[in-house]
Amino acid sequence: FAPWNDPEAKPYISFENVTKKFGDFTAVDDLSLTIYNREFFALLGASGCGKSTLLRMLAGFEEPTAGRILLDGQDLRGIPPYKRPVNMMFQSYALFPHMTVEGNIAFGLKQDGMPANEIAARVAEMLKLVKLEQFAKRKPHQLSGGQRQRVALARCVAKRPKVLLLDEPLGALDKKLREETQFELMDLQMKLGLTFVVVTHDQEEAMTMADRIAVMDKGKVKQVATPAEVYEAPNSKFVADFIGNVNMFEGTVSTVVPGKVDIDIPADKITIRTDATRECSSGQTVGFAIRPEKIRLSRKEPANTSVNAARGELYDIAYFGDMTVFHVRLESGRIIKAASLNAVRTVEDPLGYDDMVWVNFDTDAGILLTA
Ligand code: ATP
């Protein structure tokens, strides 16, 4: 499933040069974005970046100040929320406290004037879908947080919208339940064949669930790509830094040899040699990002210490069960983060506190960043 790579694929949701201003403040800034049918799409960004505003414009709670939003070829401007083929699930779930689970799920269908027998059938189908058959007669306060979340979800999909919008759908759940529910949501989205657009500030959540992620900052989209691409091939320092852990360097290109670029990092008195994955020229200021798991640590001096090597003191070791994270302080004072999967052990053992170690890495291990 990768319609974004198919030049023939028709966009399903298009934001075309959409701007939203609140007074003088620009919450969404000339933003264009395409989402495909049946895609699980995540809007990811820090608080205040404009992701909820984008979702609210799609739902019809706000109108763009400029630009337009199309759904399945139809311009949505002026169409009130209840007439749009989208439904939105809020973080608070907004369940009716005095109604039972069935009552909550049936509510929208009744309002639409659906015949009672059809409502009963649809509610039963929804209860089964979210595995809440035994809870039909309970009221929201008699349910756990995870169950309430599923009722809210069932209520949202009961009307068979084409698009489901989810604003921080798992925000109210604890970590373990959130992880389980992520997989349930993915499963549900597949079964229903709906397009999901989810807003989250939690990168792990976006990475786990989404087919593609739009990383947002200050009302703009910085990158739209699959989870693997935003992690392994971020297009900018912002995205590299925002997604996952990273060691970020800034320096000046000293030489460009075929296929390789040397970057001087004066602050740390080191030279980084990296595969030339982006065009750059001698003298240019560039960034270099390397993930902790791509760093090797050893007490033994590497064969070549002129590039991609530095010595430092191992001053922190944190054991996380699945992995161990090491902090090395270089002579310059910079802290290098290295991580090794405990099952694989890429770090020479046994390293201990205060050991002097060599940090080094391969030329294809990091990411050259020119933006
Ligand atoms: P969060 O994760 O905190 O909800 P967000 O990325 O979803 O953040 P938005 O809710 O889209 O951010 O808000 C973007 C910016 O627009 C914020 O600075 C917010 O204060 C501002 N904003 C949102 N709605 C309004 C409004 N109705 N009037 C004025 N400013 C608003």
Residue 172 CB neighbour total at 10 angstroms = 16
pLDDT at 179: 87
Q: Is 203 in the pocket of ligand 1 (CB under 6 A)?
A: no
Q: Is the pLDDT of residue 1 over 90?
A: no
Range scoring the smallest mean pLDDT among 8-12, 247-251, 345-349: 345-349
Q: Residues with Cβ < 8 Å from 205, sequence gap 6 or more?
A: 42, 170, 178, 182, 198
Distances (CA, A) of 3 to 14, 74, 188, 238: 14, 20, 20, 26
Q: What is the pLDDT of residues 156-171, one digit of tens each?
A: 999 889 999 999 888 8
Q: What is the CATH number of domain 3-240?
A: 3.40.50.300
Section 307-327 average pLDDT? 93
Domain borders along the chain are 3-240, 245-369
Q: What is the CATH number of domain 245-369?
A: 2.40.50.140
Q: Please name the residue whose Cα sits nearest to atom 25 of ligand 1.
A: 22
**Complex confidence, ipTM:** 0.93
pLDDT at 345: 65
DSSP state of 333: S
pLDDT, averaged across the chain: 93
Residue 106 CB neighbour total at 10 angstroms = 21
Q: Is 50 in the pocket of ligand 1 (CB under 6 A)?
A: yes
Distance of CA 225 from the midpoint of ligand 1 (Å) = 24
Q: Please name the residue whose Cα sits nearest to atom 28 of ligand 1.
A: 22
pLDDT at 252: 96
Section 51-55 average pLDDT? 95
Q: Which of 25, 62, 170 to mutate to test the pocket of ligand 1 (most atoms within 8 A of CB)?
A: 25
- The pTM is what? 0.91
What ligand 1 atom has the least distance to the C-alpha of 53?
11
Q: Is 21 in the pocket of ligand 1 (CB under 6 A)?
A: no
Residue 263: pLDDT band with limits 50, 70, 90: very high
Residue 110: pLDDT band with limits 50, 70, 90: very high
Q: Is 104 in the pocket of ligand 1 (CB under 6 A)?
A: no
Q: Which of 22, 88, 201 to mutate to test the pocket of ligand 1 (most atoms within 8 A of CB)?
A: 22
Q: What is the pLDDT of residues 335-366, one digit of tens each?
A: 999 998 888 766 666 788 888 999 999 999 99
Distance of CA 159 from the midpoint of ligand 1 (Å) = 28
Q: Is the pLDDT of residue 172 over 80?
A: no
Residue 51: pLDDT band with limits 50, 70, 90: very high
Tell me the residue length of the chain: 371
Q: Is 64 in the pocket of ligand 1 (CB under 6 A)?
A: no
pLDDT at 348: 61
Q: Is the pLDDT of residue 149 over 80?
A: yes
What are phi and psi for residue 306, nearest 5 degrees? -80, -30
Q: Is 56 in the pocket of ligand 1 (CB under 6 A)?
A: no
List the beta strands (DSSP E) in the chain. Answer: 13-22, 25-35, 40-45, 66-71, 74-75, 86-89, 163-167, 195-200, 212-217, 220-225, 247-257, 260-265, 270-275, 285-290, 296-298, 309-319, 323-330, 335-341, 356-360, 367-369
Whole-angstrom distance, CA of residue 258 vs CA of residue 177: 50
Q: What is the pLDDT of residues 23-41, one digit of tens each?
A: 999 999 999 999 999 999 9
Section 257-266 average pLDDT? 92
Q: Is the pLDDT of residue 288 over 90?
A: yes
Q: Please name the residue whose Cα sits nearest to atom 9 of ligand 1.
A: 50
